[in-house]
Structure 1
C-alpha cells in the first residue's frame, strides 16, 4: 500500500485508537489496520499471556513521557497533560544518573518528588531506569566491562542495590518498575552485555536478588533492549523468567530498517519482542520510543501508536525532547499533531491553543 493510502487508512481509525490507548479496549479490526486482513496485516496483534491483566495498576495502557530526569519532570507532566486536553498520564518515567555509585543508590533528591507524584494516586506507575555500573557512559573498553561484569556476578556491588531498594521502600514506592541495565544489547553503555553475556546474566540475577531481599519491596524488573539486531542478540542476554517481570523494548525510527514493517519483522524486532513475551508469560513495555533519524516522521508516529494500541503494553513512554519528541520539540509539528490526535482526551481543538513548555 502506498504511503499516502496508509496515512489515510490510519486517519480513519483515530477515534477507535483514542479509546484503546486510553482505556485498553480492543477496536474492531478492519482492512489495513492492526488485526485486520489487509496489507497492514504485518502488524497483527499478539494475544496477551495467559493470566495477564490488560491494565497496569489500573485499567488500560499507562501513558507517560520522559520529560526531565530531575524534579522539573514531575511538574512538566501536568503541562503535557494539558497539551493533550487533559489526558491522564499514569506512567512517570525518570533515570538515575550512572556517574557514581551514590547516585545509583538513589541519592538524587528528585526521587522524593517522583515518590510524592506516585503516591497521589494508586493507579500510577513509577518507572525508574537504573544503571548496573558506575561510570556508565565513560566509554569503557570491552575488557574492562568484562572485568566489572564478573565482579558484579560475584556479588561485589550487591550492597549498592540493597541501598537503592531501601531508599525506594522508605520513600513509599516499593512497587517501582525498575528498568535495569537498559539497552544492554548495544555498544555504548558500560553495563552492556556483549563483553561477557554469562557474567551479565548472573550479575542481573544478583541485583534482583539483592533488591528483593529488602523487606516490603514489590518491585517489577523490566528487561528493555534496543529494537533489532545490535551488538548482540538481546535474547542471548535474557537472565531468566524468575528475575524478569516485563519484556520492554526501546524503539526509535532509525536503522536497522527503513520502514515500520521492517521494524516489526526484522530479527529481534517488535514482533520478536511480543512473541518472546508471550512465550515467557510476560507483559511488554516501551520505556523509550520516538523520532530520531527521519525528521518529522508523522507516519512512524502513527504506526507506533497503532502498534502500541494493538499489543497493549503495561506502559509506554515517549522520549520528549529534540530530536525525539513532540511536545518539547517544535521541529516535529506533523508528528506532534498525530501524537495529540491519538492521545488527546478532547480531540478537534487547534494545537496552537495548547501551550508548549
Structure 2
C-alpha cells in the first residue's frame, strides 16, 4: 500500500462508535476479540516531547519507559515566529530520518498559517492577514515548506494546519473572518499539493468545545481536509469526561462529523490540565481512544499535561504506563512473541 494509502484507508470504518466506555470512572476493557488481533494495534501512538531533535531522542526513552511500546507517531511543531521557520527549519531533518527508519511510522507536523502566530495580534489585524492570505499573499511560503518536506523524503507528512483555529489565542484563529479563513486554508492546501511528489494528509484540529467560535463554521471543505482532529485536555467546558464527550462540539460530535464526511479522526494534542492528576480522566480518555480507533493520538508530555516528563501526575502516569504497556504485551502475544 502506498504511503498515502496507509493513513487514508478505512476512513469510514475506523470511526464507527460502539458506545461509550464509561462505567463509573473505571477503565473499560479495550475492544479485543479472540482472533488474535488487537483492536488498538493500528492506532499510531505518539507524544509531543520537544520540538527539535531532542524530541526524537526522547521518543526512544519514552518507549523504554513504556516497556518497549513502539511510538509510531512522531509529533512536532514549526515555530510560528517567522516565515523562514514556517518554510521549514533544519530541525526537520532529524524528524525525517526518524520517520524513514520504519515504513509504518507517521510524521505529524503542526504548521502555523501565519508568522507571529503567538504575538497577540488583535482581531482587526488578524482579519487583515486572513484576507491577504485568501488572496494568495503567502502561498510561496507553503510551497517552500512542501518542497522541503518532499526533498527530505517525508512527502506523506500529516499536516496539522492552523490548529485550534476556533480559539482566542493564535494569530491564525478563525473567528475574526471565518470565510476568508476557509479560503486561506484552501489556498495553502492548493499551494502544498502543487509540489510534485507530495502525498500530504491535512488534519483539521480544533479545540474541543465551542471556544471562540463553533469549529464547524471554520471547516473548509472535504476536498481539502483528510483527517478530523481534536485537541482535548482535561479542563472545562465539561467537568466530567462524559460531559467532554457529549458537550456541543465535543468528542462525540467530532466522531459523528468525521463519519458524516468520510474522514478519519485524530487527537494531535491531549492530556491533563486544570483538574490536576486525574487517573479517572486518563482511564476514560485512553478507553475512548481505544474504542474510536483514530489514525493517531499524541499526548502532550510536559507539565501540567504530561505523564512521563512531568512528575506532578504520578497516578495518571501509572494508568498511562499500565494501559499502553499491557496493550503492547497483548500485541506481542498475538504475534507469537514470548520473549
- Is 1:25 aligned with 2:39? yes
- Is 1:121 aligned with 2:102? yes
- Stretches of structure 2 that go unaligned for 5 or more consecutive residues are 1-21, 331-339
1:258-283 deviation per Cα after TM superposition (whole angstroms, max 9, x unaligned): 00111001000000000000000000
Q: CA deviation at 1:6?
A: 2.5
Please say if residues 17 and 342 of structure 1, whose CA atoms lie closer than 8 Å, have aligned partners that are also in contact. Answer: no
Q: Normalised by the size of structure 1, how large is the TM-score?
A: 0.83
Change (3 A) 1:83 1:158: same
Please say if residues 77 and 111 of structure 2, whose CA atoms lie closer than 8 Å, have aligned partners that are also in contact. Answer: yes
Separation (CA, whole Å) in 2 of partners of 1:127 and 1:267: 27
- Stretches of structure 1 that go unaligned for 5 or more consecutive residues are 27-58, 348-357
- Is 1:72 aligned with 2:54? yes
Please say if residues 153 and 202 of structure 1, whose CA atoms lie closer than 8 Å, have aligned partners that are also in contact. Answer: yes
Q: CA deviation at 1:163?
A: 0.1
Q: CA deviation at 1:25?
A: 1.5
Q: How many residues align?
A: 305
1:28-79 deviation per Cα after TM superposition (whole angstroms, max 9, x unaligned): xxxxxxxxxxxxxxxxxxxxxxxxxxxxxxx610000000001100010000
Partner of 1:40: none
User: 3-state SS of the aligned residue for 2:24?
Assistant: helix
Separation (CA, whole Å) in 2 of partners of 1:62 and 1:270: 19
Q: CA deviation at 1:257?
A: 1.2
Please say if residues 323 and 331 of structure 1, whose CA atoms lie closer than 8 Å, have aligned partners that are also in contact. Answer: yes
Please say if residues 139 and 190 of structure 1, whose CA atoms lie closer than 8 Å, have aligned partners that are also in contact. Answer: yes
Separation (CA, whole Å) in 2 of partners of 1:24 and 1:267: 32
Separation (CA, whole Å) in 2 of partners of 1:231 and 1:104: 25
Please say if residues 101 and 160 of structure 1, whose CA atoms lie closer than 8 Å, have aligned partners that are also in contact. Answer: yes
Change (3 A) 1:5 1:225: closer
Separation (CA, whole Å) in 2 of partners of 1:194 and 1:245: 22
**Which residue among 216, 222, 227 is the counterpart of 1:235?**
216
Q: Normalised by the size of structure 2, how large is the TM-score?
A: 0.87
Partner of 1:195: 176
Please say if residues 112 and 172 of structure 2, whose CA atoms lie closer than 8 Å, have aligned partners that are also in contact. Answer: yes
Please say if residues 32 and 39 of structure 2, whose CA atoms lie closer than 8 Å, have aligned partners that are also in contact. Answer: no
Partner of 1:112: 93
**Which residue among 47, 62, 66 is the counterpart of 2:44?**
62
1:282-330 deviation per Cα after TM superposition (whole angstroms, max 9, x unaligned): 0000000000101101010011001000100000000000000000011
Q: CA deviation at 1:129?
A: 0.0
Partner of 2:333: none
Separation (CA, whole Å) in 2 of partners of 1:180 and 1:156: 17
User: 3-state SS of the aligned residue for 2:220?
Assistant: coil
Change (3 A) 1:142 1:228: same
Change (3 A) 1:70 1:229: same
RMSD: 1.8
Partner of 1:296: 277
Partner of 1:30: none
Q: CA deviation at 1:17?
A: 6.0
Q: What does residue range 28-47 of structure 1 map to in structure 2 within 5 Å? A: none
Separation (CA, whole Å) in 2 of partners of 1:18 and 1:100: 47
Q: What does residue range 248-327 of structure 1 map to in structure 2 within 5 Å? A: 248-327=229-308
Q: What does residue range 70-149 of structure 1 map to in structure 2 within 5 Å? A: 70-106=52-88, 108-149=89-130
Separation (CA, whole Å) in 2 of partners of 1:19 and 1:254: 33
Partner of 2:8: none
User: 3-state SS of the aligned residue for 1:80?
Assistant: helix
